[in-house]
Homo-oligomer: A and B are copies of this chain.
Amino acid sequence: MNSTTQLRVRYVETDAMGIVHHASYVAWLELGRTELLRELGMSYREWEKAGVHLAVGEVHLKYRAPSYFDDLVTVHTQVTEAARRRVGFAYRIERDGVLLAEASTVHMVTGADGKARVLPDEFLNLFKP
């Protein structure tokens, strides 16, 4: 129910302050939950092929320390909620044990058409211990 992903900061992710732009972290959260879903047994690509999408309903990010080009960053992701209509994740982003950001996201279960649907058992069971 939790996963650890590493990434190397790209130059394109930095901004004129000389640090990583705050929007880049949103993509890192996506990486974190993509790897968590893969480890739970079905990649998000397979989710989508099965017509089950996790539309982002909410993003909350708190920035604690800046990160820089070429940093090796770790994203810790965990499931905080997994219900028929909503799935939630929490994240800690770190570099060498230093907390860079904390975050959470909430997702609505939808079909390929973006309309709400119910999470099939097969998918709900992925979140069961």
A11 CB contact (under 8 Å) in B11, B12, B34, B62: B34
Give the docked Cα–Cα distance between A16 and B53 (Å): 11
**How close is A60's CB to chain B, nearest CB, in angstroms?**
5
Q: A58 near B: Cβ within 8 Å?
A: yes
**How close is A87's CB to chain B, nearest CB, in angstroms?**
15
Give the docked Cα–Cα distance between A65 and B60 (Å): 18
Chain B residues within an 8 Å CB radius of A27 = 10, 12, 23
Q: In this complex, what residue of B is CB-closest to A46? A: B70
- State the oligomeric state as a number of copies: 4
Give the docked Cα–Cα distance between A22 and B59 (Å): 9
B12-A30 in contact (CB<8A): yes
Give the docked Cα–Cα distance between A45 and B68 (Å): 9
Interface centre among A12, A14, A114 (most CB of B within 10 A): A12
Q: 20 pairs across A/B with beta carbons < 8 Å?
A: A10-B27, A10-B31, A11-B15, A11-B34, A12-B15, A15-B16, A16-B48, A17-B114, A22-B56, A23-B26, A26-B26, A44-B69, A45-B70, A48-B69, A55-B66, A57-B62, A57-B63, A58-B61, A59-B60, A66-B114
